[in-house]
Amino acid sequence: MPKKAAEKKTCGNCRYHNTYEYPDTVFCFAKFSNRENPVISIFNSCDEWEDKLQECYCLEEALAKRGKKPK
Amino acid sequence: MVEREDFLNTPVVHMKLNSNMTVDQLIQQFKKSGSFGAGRLASACDAYEDMVRDKDCTVFLALAGAMVPAGLRTTIADLMRKRLIDALVSTGANMVHDLIEALGGHHYQGSWFVDDYLLYKYHIYRIYDVFVPEEDFVKADETLIKMFEEIATKTDSKPMSTNELMSEVGKRLKDPNSIVRSAYESKVPIFLPAMRDSEFAYIHRVHQKRSPPGKGLLVDAFKEVPELLDITSRSERLGMVVLGGGVPRNSVQHAALMTGKGLDYAVIFTTDRPEPGGLSGSTIEETISWGKVKQKANKVMVIGDALISFPLMTASVLERLGPGFHRKGNP
């Protein structure tokens, strides 16, 4: 995974994420608790973003998948 | 006084196996051996047959350990429909796993020999050699949280027992293979004495966060006690089949004790040992000392993997009962 992408704030590396449709969408329980739409793209992010509590392949695999798509 | 020949009454008959024998025929060979786990399993089949043929016996199933993820879900749902189980006392987790499948999720055959950190990074959970993808949990959580909201509105947030909650959930399911759905259709109560020790705790927590203050679903952990006691007090006789043990086993035993009756039948499948003092490994004799099982009860403890022994017992007894056997529910 390119370093810049990994360091970028995204839902796929935020502590609030759970996988929903792996690896493309995540389920955000913080949003769900606030009655907002909880199913969001792994590349999104918001002000509630929190780092580091999850180590997973979501973002890496979503990036790889996006890279493979024809333009 | 016991004479010497009293010890030498019944010879071991060596098992004779053939290529087309049925499950019950195999169990009959186990009975002729009468030894070790084979003998105990054969005794368990006899005790369960007696239990379900006893028209006045209420049959409890106490369910602990990950039996539902590993494949016993449909078996238990079917037994409820046939009323070969009159009441279920379970861990919360087993019902969560039932609901995961009822709401479209799956459990997968995996391996115990796996890199668990790799599973963690892929959002996959492991139960020995069964895998569950995180998204199946999440999707079930999402649906159940919304269902809790609907139930809270309907009940005006009045305290419910775990049994009342499971009935409301079962009403809203369609999957005929679901234990919770089958229980609702068959009017078999489900008690979850340790409900909060499962994903239900997280589901309730998120539901609570989404609800206005004082408007959430309220489950009263003690409300099921009089409901259980009502069943044991109205029952002529009491029987229990235990898979694992733990809180579900003791909830049944304790209800039998609290109504001053004690269990008339007890079949326990466990791998636990009595020496460390835990309930799951405690012998039935130990349970007799508390008055929870009658001294003259038809009882047996089978030491071994319940996922093997329980289906064998069930298949054997179903074969004995035949397809036309009908049992009314108790009490």
Q: Out of B140-144, B210-214, B293-297, B298-302, which region has the weakest mean confidence (pLDDT)?
A: B210-214
Report the pLDDT value the prediction gives residue B159, as an integer from 0 to 100: 97
The Cα–Cα gap between B72 and B273 comes to 24
- Over residues B54-73, the mean pLDDT reads 98
Report the pLDDT value the prediction gives residue A71, as an integer from 0 to 100: 47
The Cα–Cα gap between A20 and A28 comes to 9
Q: Using one digit for the tens of pLDDT, what is the confidence trace for B181-229?
A: 999 999 999 999 999 999 999 999 999 999 999 899 999 999 999 999 9
3-state secondary structure of B265: strand
Report the pLDDT value the prediction gives residue A2, as an integer from 0 to 100: 47
Cα–Cα distances in angstroms (integers) from residue B164 to residues A29, B186, B255, in the given order: 27, 14, 18
Q: Are B267 and B292 in contact (CB under 8 A)?
A: no
- A20 part of contact set with chain B, CB < 8 Å: yes
Report the pLDDT value the prediction gives residue B24, as an integer from 0 to 100: 98
Assembly ipTM: 0.88
pLDDT band of residue A69 (cuts 50, 70, 90) is: low
- Over residues B150-179, the mean pLDDT reads 97
Task: Search chain A and give the residue with CA nearest B121.
Answer: A56
> Does the structure show a pLDDT above 70 at A6?
no
Pairing of strands A17-21, A25-28: antiparallel
Inter-chain contact A56–B123, Cβ cutoff 8 Å?
Answer: yes
d(CA A56, nearest CA chain B) in Å: 4
The overall average pLDDT reported for chain B is 97
Entry pTM: 0.95
- Over residues A12-29, the mean pLDDT reads 92
- A18 part of contact set with chain B, CB < 8 Å: yes
Q: Using one digit for the tens of pLDDT, what is the confidence trace for B249-261?
A: 999 999 999 999 9
Report the pLDDT value the prediction gives residue A7, as an integer from 0 to 100: 60
Inter-chain contact A27–B138, Cβ cutoff 8 Å?
Answer: yes
d(CA B190, nearest CA chain A) in Å: 29
> Does the structure show a pLDDT above 90 at B231?
yes
The Cα–Cα gap between B68 and B307 comes to 10
Q: Out of A13-22, B46-55, B79-88, B251-260, which region has the weakest mean confidence (pLDDT)?
A: A13-22
Please tell me which of the candidates A34, A35, A57 has its beta carbon nearest to residue B121. A57
Strands (E), B93-230: 108-109, 124-127, 130-133, 190-191
> Does the structure show a pLDDT above 90 at B295?
yes
- Over residues A33-58, the mean pLDDT reads 87
Inter-chain contact A22–B121, Cβ cutoff 8 Å?
Answer: no
- B135 part of contact set with chain A, CB < 8 Å: yes
More confidently predicted of A60 and B266? B266
Total Cβ atoms within 10 A of residue A46:
14
Contacts of B13 (CB under 8 A, 6+ apart): B32, B33, B34
